[in-house]
Structure 1
Amino acid sequence: MRTAWLSQSALRCLGEEADRHYPLETGGVLAGYFAENGEAVIVGAIGPGPLAIHKRLRFLPDHDWQCTQLNMLFEQTAGGLIYLGDWHTHPDASGRMSWLDHRTLRAIAKHPHARVTNPLMLIGGGAAGAWKWRCHRYCGDRLLGLLIDCEDGALRVFESAA
């Protein structure tokens, strides 16, 4: 996978949200754009929403709230920032994808309203104040759709212009 770029401000948002809900899982959506070379540039992270349900091994986002936030961001930037994928935490575990993460990433790619064929999934493994983020990207299905092909990629943080 190509490198995915993550703004310092988005990384800070991810960490603060992850710390706030530790030891429960939390997550949200990623906003940004794809550069001309195809690399993802993540400039915003939207949290789980006020009606999200957080549990030890999974969470259910407040989808309507997230969509509203994403639509506002899209309009504020005249379409410059779009939905790139999702992010969530694996408290006291690694940032590797679970079988459910693979299925979720495929569902995002196949959902017509997502409008992203190769969505990202950022997973933070670890504990409060010590998250290690891994970036995954959906590549497609193999073996008649029984295997879901995703790849890990480099995640680089950049200083965002305030």
Structure 2
Amino acid sequence: MSKSVFILPTNQRLKVNEEVIELLFSLAQDSLDALESGGILVGRILESSADYVIDDASVPMAKDVQKRNSFVRDSEGHQEYFDQHWAHQEGRCFYLGEWHTHPEKVPKPSFIDQRGWRNLLNAKIQEQTTLFFIIVGIQRLVIWQGVNRNGRIRIFRVGDINRYE
């Protein structure tokens, strides 16, 4: 199995396209002056299997706030990014979650990250009850799945990808 395919707790699969992985690692905070970056994840939910595919990720936009240890996404530019994909894919794509960087080798979500993830799951964007959250560290990219079932939110660590393998 590819390093970019993960089995989820529901036995569905998550595939992250290699181009997305390369893009996210290219924005890793691997120097002392690198600022935190982030964006949204866009992809598909396969009709035949209900598997998820992350096809694209937005990059920091002009109105985003980037600091060494924080990233605040301004929704306007990322919404335009999503709308372009929606039009190009003729409505066959979904907002699948968020990503951001941390200046640590193996990233761990902060309390602020987890609170933000819960807020997104409660918002049920595009009726989504499942979202994915990626934190890109210096050495590893780690993926979590968040699920909102009838107001009960659970977040699972799905897996990770080593930048140097």
TM-score for the superposition, normalised by structure 1: 0.79
- Percent identity of paired positions between Structure 1 and Structure 2: 22
Do structure 1's residue 66 and structure 2's residue 78 form an aligned pair?
A: yes
Deviations 1:115-135 (A, max 9, x none): 321111011112xxxx41111
Q: Which portions of structure 1, spanning 4 or more consecutive aligned residues, are displaced by more than 6 angstroms?
A: none
Residues in 2 aligned to 1:107 and 1:16: alpha-carbon distance in whole angstroms:
28
Tell me, yes or no, if the aligned pair for 2:29 and 2:36 is still in contact at 8 Å.
no
Q: CA RMSD in A?
A: 2.6
| 2:5 paired residue number | none
- 1:16 Cα deviation (Å)? 2.3
2: CA distance, partners of 1:80 / 1:39: 14
Does the 8 Å CA contact 1:5/1:155 hold for their aligned counterparts? no
- Say if 2:157 is the partner of 1:152: yes
| Paired AA for residue 20 in structure 2 | A
Q: Secondary structure at the match of 2:27?
A: helix
Contact 1:4/1:135 (<8 A) preserved: no
Q: Alpha-carbon deviation of 1:6?
A: 0.8
CA distance in 2: counterparts of 1:45 and 1:9, whole angstroms: 9
| In the alignment, structure 1 residue 134 sits paired with structure 2 residue 142 | yes
Number of matched pairs: 149
TM-score if structure 2 supplies the norm length? 0.78
Alpha-carbon contact 1:3-1:154 (below 8 Å) kept: no
Offset from partner CA, 1:101-156 (integer Å, 9 cap, x none): 21111111111445321111011112xxxx41111011348xx97xx520011468
